[in-house]
Chains A and B, each alone.
Chain A
Amino acid sequence: MDIQTLGITVLWTFLYGYLIVASIDFGAGFYAFYSKYTKRDHLTNRLILRYLSPVWEVTNVFFVFFFVGLVGFFPDTAYYYGTALLVPASIVLVLIAIRGSFYAFANYGSNDSMFYTFLYGATGLLIPAAMSTTLTISQGGFIRKTNETVEFLGTKLFSNFYSWTVVALAIVSVLYISAMFLLFYADKARDTAASDLIRKWALFWSIPTIIVCALVFFGLKNQAAWHYENILNGNWWWFAASFVFFCVALTLVYLKKNYGIAFIAVMAQYGVAWFGYGYTHLPYILYPYIDINKSVVNDTMATSLVVVFIFGLLLLIPALYLILRLFLFDNDYVRGKKSK
């Protein structure tokens, strides 16, 4: 494997990690607000907080890691995306800032207000919606290079139907992934009242998820023909496998069986689709301007980044294992029997 493929694989894997942990976090924010609004928060919100409190900061790091790594491995991304995406990225930053700080204000600062919870829930849907447009942009047609500068065609993006289907996919996925995880967590906590309610959410969002997936898949044909052709050229099976995992997850939840396996199936469903999408997107990070083979950083830097990455992982994996053991796989903690 050459260094640029290795680099993009590592970054894509981290973005996948972010997709999963951030979806849980974003969706949980929406559900916390929704439960509170419908006065059912006594059923679910303690459970949601028990998971989220120790890990929200870790979630945020996945995102920082991705964009710092991206500029490191492919410095041209800073130039193109940086110039073009000033406004949309700034809006995402403001939303992230509001979300993170109001989470802390509400939970650590004893200011348990409806307004804070609303902000927390609303940003949970707006952030993934805004972030997902980057995927559409990366397929080309919305960034134009002129002699002097790089221009972002914002109105074109706004009036583009395909772009909105991607936004819809991001939102329903967040709600679906989050519900599937919380179902597993509630079940582990042996909290039947919560798990009955969350199971309904999970089932409710499953079908829309797959419908929007299909819309995005076939919309690709008109939006980015080059990408669609790459998929049809022997790479469609990633997406078929994704559908199979979806059916496994849905069946298990429907039969009220083994929610742990069901959540792993959800991760696999998104995992294969994510890597299938990424693999067929190559060699472009931004079509047609950034090609990983031409825009990769110099060899010395790339090698040193990989070395640091390996050492970093050696440090992080035991730490991640520890935090998961203490807060996710410790049944007494999950059930709220241990002091926090």
Chain B
Amino acid sequence: MFNDPVMLSRLLTGLTLAFHIIFATIGVGVPLMVLAAEYIGIKRKDPDYILLARRWTRGYIVTVAVGVVTGTAIGLQLSLLWPSLMQVAGQTIALPLFMETFAFFFEAIFLGIYLYTWDRFKNPWLHWLIGIPVVIGATASAFFITTVNSFMNSPEGFKIVNGTLTQIEPLKAMFNAATPTKATHVIVSAYLTVAFILAAIAAFHLLRKKTLSAAETAYHKKALRLTVMAGLIFAFSTALVGDFSGKYLAKYQPEKLAAAEWHFETTSEAELIFGGILDEQEDGSYDIKGAVKIPYALSILAGGAPDTEVVGLNEFAKEDQAPLFVHYFFDIMVSIGMYLTVISALFILAFRLKKLNPHNKWILRGIFIGGPLAIVSIEAGWMYAEIGRQPWTLYGIMRTADAATTSTAVGPMLILFSLLYLMLGTICTIVLLRMFKNNPVGKELADDHHTRGEAMFADDQK
């Protein structure tokens, strides 16, 4: 395996993406939450929400830096590790890649302005308005880059005649069959994940209640309510879009859905298999053991009705099938999504009904673990999306094995980048922890200068 450029290229691409996606997700979601907090803060003249927006932004800028550099890495690695893929992609799907750099450019400019103009305008709404292009830029970047991934799942907008690409339609390639569900799923789940990361931070502080002052408790409760409310909305939207994604797969990439669901025989009234293990029989078929089977659920996911016929894996040649372990990635993604819906609904219900204390220790703990779980869910979702598309890099057009570099130096590069990400991940975490430890909420709440810009960054304090 370690002298196979294809496997090594997959590992290195996977490593970069797995690391980058954490920061990219934070990058897409945080601006929206910051803007929401700043909006409430200005509207209600509540300095707690302004402080919330400022503290989120301060942590955000550190993660943005890591997101930018790892994004640059994956951008160039696509050409370095998959030169043949990019040669075809350049002809067909270069448009949204190009658009993404513009969106990113736009976002970077306004983020620079937003960060350094907290108190430069007399009218606080002007500063809030500068945040809007940041949100638009971040979300548009996610949209454009996801259209490229959609294209890999559903390559359209060109014809191949005698080995050459003709009749190129860039917009059709960009708005392919996979784009609507995929792009929405990526964007909404990013919002969901960020809402839960921020909620987890608030829950963490509230769980250590004994050390908190009344002002700090009030501050964290406001943060928790805002983030969990957002979390609930985005959890429902993600579930809805996830359902549409299932229907897309059933129609356009049935073997990808079948691999995730361990659905071998084409049937109607198909049951959904959750968990379990596979036991290979002598004739090459499989027995599923210890799984939870939900009647009709797969047919409903695939076509919205219990009698929908769902295509099984046995219809496809072995060499066109994805590895069957993607089933677990799918299950992890879906169960975490459901967990996030339930826990946020529980909190909001408790808040509304007033019968149950929403700041109950167990609800807070449940929200706290929701943060890391949401990131796990994002990772599992991408693992499913990418490994589930195998053996193809461009579905039905180009196999992964034919797209990779022929260079023999991928192995050392894999080690180099592993060390880089290990270092960046560790130091980023330490820097973030220290940043908030050295400047606790209590101190900033007591100091009414916090709404002014002076203490924003370390270099200004000197």
Stretch touching chain B among A99-107, A243-251, A252-260: A99-107
Chain A residue, CB-CB nearest to B167: A300
Docked-complex contact B407 and A108, CB < 8 angstroms: no
Complex interface residues of chain B between 438 and 462 (CB less than 8 A to chain A): 438-439, 452-454, 456-460, 462
Q: Identify B72's interface contact among A96, A298, A339, CB under 8 A.
A: A96
Asked whether any CB of chain A lies closer than 8 Å to the CB of B115, the reply is yes
Q: Do B72 and A326 have beta carbons less than 8 Å apart?
A: no
Cα of A53 to Cα of B460 in the assembled complex, Å? 11
Of the listed stretches B193-201, B374-382, B390-398, B427-435, chain A binds B427-435
A312 touches B80 (CB 8 A): no
CB distance from A128 to the nearest CB of B (A): 16
Report yes or no: B83 in contact with A107, Cβ–Cβ below 8 A. no
- Given A104-B62, A108-B61, A110-B435, are A323 and B113 neighbors across the interface (CB < 8 Å)? yes
Complex: A103 Cα to B64 Cα, angstroms? 12
Contact B91 A301 (CB under 8 A): yes
Q: Is the CB of A297 within 8 A of B94?
A: yes
A97 on the interface (CB 8 Å rule)? Answer: yes
Asked if B336 lies at the interface with its beta carbon under 8 angstroms from chain A, I say: no
CB of B111 closer than 8 Å to a CB of A: yes
A45's closest neighbor in chain B, by CB?
A: B459
Minimal Cβ-Cβ distance residue in A for B412: A87
Nearest Cβ on chain B to A213's Cβ, whole angstroms = 29
The distance in angstroms between the C-alpha atoms of A300 and B425, with both chains bound, is 42
Q: By the criterion CB–CB under 8 Å, are A78 and B117 in contact? A: no
In the complex, A9 Cα to B105 Cα: how many Å?
20
**Of B82, B168, B454, which is in contact with the most chain A CB atoms at under 10 Å from its CB?**
B168
CA distance in complex: A35, B350 (Å):
58
Residues of chain A at interface, number, CB under 8 A: 76
Kindly identify, within residues 95 to 117 of chain B, every residue whose CB is under 8 Å from any CB belonging to chain A. Answer: 95, 97-102, 104-106, 108-113, 115-117
Please tell me if A293 contacts chain B, counting CB pairs below 8 Å: no
Q: Nearest CB to that of A339 among chain B residues?
A: B453
Min CB distance, B457 to chain A, in Å?
Answer: 6
Q: In whole angstroms, how far apart are the Cα atoms of A105 and B61 in the complex?
A: 10
On whether the beta carbons of A57 and B68 are closer than 8 Å, the reply is yes
Taking the closest CB of chain B, its distance from the CB of A3, in whole angstroms, is: 13
Residues of A within 8 A of B77 (CB): 90, 93
Q: Which residues of B contact A83 (CB under 8 A)?
A: 83, 405-407
A63, CB-defined interface residue at 8 Å? yes
- Cβ-defined contact, B453 with A64, below 8 A: no
Q: Quick check: B170 and A323 within 8 Å, CB to CB?
A: no
Contact of A78 among B70, B79, B102, B106 (CB under 8 A): B79
Indicate whether A105 sits within 8 Å of B62 (C-beta atoms), given known contacts A78-B90, A110-B434, A301-B94: yes
In the complex, the answer to whether B72 meets A93 with C-beta atoms within 8 Å is yes
| CB of B73 closer than 8 Å to a CB of A | yes
Contacts of B409 in A (CB 8 A): 86-87
Residues of the B chain whose Cβ atoms lie less than 8 Å from the Cβ of A94: 416-417, 420
The binding surface of chain A is classed by DSSP as helix
Tell whether, in the assembled complex, residue B91 and residue A58 are in contact, meaning their CB atoms are under 8 Å apart: no
Shortest A100–chain B CB gap in Å is: 4
Whether A58 contacts B108 by the Cβ 8 Å rule is yes
- Closest A residue to B410 by CB, please name it: A86
Cβ of A237 under 8 Å from chain B: no
Which of A68-76, A180-188, A222-230, A270-278 lies on the face that meets chain B?
A68-76
Using known A-B contacts A108-B457, A339-B119, determine if residue A68 contacts B434 with beta carbons closer than 8 Å. Answer: no
CA A90 to CA B83, docked complex, whole Å:
14
Task: Report if B251 contacts A (CB, 8 A).
Answer: no
Is the CB–CB distance between B79 and A103 below 8 Å?
no
Q: How far is the CA of A322 from the CA of B166 in the complex (A)?
A: 42
Q: Contact at B87–A319, with CB atoms within 8 Å?
A: no
> Does A37 sit within 8 A of B, measured CB to CB?
no
Known contacts A86-B410, A297-B90; decide if A67 and B75 are in contact (CB<8 Å): yes
CB contacts under 8 Å to A, within B2-43, are: none
Instruction: Tell me if A58 and B109 are in contact (CB < 8 A).
Output: yes
In the complex, chain A residues whose CB is within 8 Å of the CB of B406: 83, 148-150
Find out whether the CB atom of A68 lies under 8 angstroms from the CB atom of B98.
yes
Is A64 touching B75 in the complex (CB atoms < 8 A)?
A: yes
Q: Are B70 and A61 in contact (CB under 8 A)?
A: no
Query: B168: which of A73, A99, A300 is its contact (CB, 8 Å)?
Result: A300
Question: B452–A339 contact, CB under 8 A?
Answer: yes
- Whether A340 contacts B113 by the Cβ 8 Å rule is no
Say whether A294 faces chain B, with CB atoms less than 8 Å apart.
no
Q: Given A75-B87, A93-B77, 4 more contacts at CB 8 Å?
A: A49-B459, A64-B104, A100-B68, A297-B91
* 13 sampled A-B residue pairs with Cβ under 8 A: A46-B459, A53-B457, A64-B101, A67-B79, A68-B97, A82-B405, A87-B409, A93-B72, A97-B72, A108-B62, A298-B91, A305-B94, A340-B116
